[in-house]
């Protein structure tokens, strides 16, 4: 069984006026939307992995405040909004597995393979993929549906995921 992960496609990252806008990330919205529509049509679970920080989160030592729980910036961009039946997993660190119920949710659903989309390739996507592989999930990273802080970071992370973590880049 497979699940689609939609990582951090949130207003603060994807919209130009977002608190931690990732320049150009809005360009992957159509590709992510196609992945979501395909998954839903095939009965594949869609799981949103979303930053949801407290106002004084420790992560704000490294990054400006962003995706504060309950704010507009922490919302999934409207074009990709979850619907009834989708799962939303809130996280406070880079990996979708760290201090979340993601692993239990996946195991309860019998998921063996994760198809991954979202931002940022070299941060939350990479660390979620790394933790997924450490837990023996098969991983497919949708190349045209992930985006990095820079092209260099993006390409480096794709190589790491493919050659070190043995994720398939599709």
Q: How far apart are CA 13 and CA 6, in angstroms?
A: 13
The total domain count for the chain is: 1
Give the pLDDT score at 106.
Answer: 98
Q: Any residues with CB less than 8 A from the CB of 107 and at least 6 apart, and which?
A: none
What is the reported pTM?
0.97
Please report, for the domain that includes residue 155, its CATH number: 3.40.50.850
Q: Which domain holds residue 7?
A: 2-169
What is the four-CA torsion angle of 75, 76, 78, 80, rounded to 10 degrees? -170
From first to last of its 170 residues, the chain has per-residue pLDDT tens of 999 999 999 999 999 999 999 999 999 999 999 999 999 999 999 999 999 999 999 999 999 999 999 999 999 999 999 999 999 999 999 999 999 999 999 999 999 999 999 999 999 999 999 999 999 999 999 999 999 999 999 999 999 999 999 999 99
Helix (H) or strand (E) run with residue 103 in it: helix 102-108
Q: What is the model's pLDDT at position 107? A: 98
């Amino acid at each position: 069984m497979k699940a689609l992960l939609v990582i951090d496609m949130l207003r603060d990252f994807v919209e130009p006026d977002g608190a931690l806008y990732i320049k150009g990330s809005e360009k992957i919205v159509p590709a992510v939307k196609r992945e979501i529509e395909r998954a839903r049509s095939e009965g594949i679970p869609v799981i949103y992995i979303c930053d949801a920080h407290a106002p004084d989160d420790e992560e704000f030592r490294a990054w400006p405040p962003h995706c504060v729980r309950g704010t507009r910036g922490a919302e999934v961009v409207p074009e990709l909004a979850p619907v009834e039946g989708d799962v939303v997993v809130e996280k406070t660190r880079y990996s979708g597995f760290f201090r979340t119920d993601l692993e239990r949710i996946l195991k309860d659903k019998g998921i063996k393979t994760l198809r991954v989309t979202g931002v940022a390739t070299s941060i939350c996507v990479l660390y979620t993929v790394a933790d997924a592989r450490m837990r023996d999930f098969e991983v497919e990273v949708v190349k045209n549906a992930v985006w990095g802080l820079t092209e260099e970071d993006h390409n480096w992370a794709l190589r790491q995921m493919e050659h070190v973590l043995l994720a398939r880049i599709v």
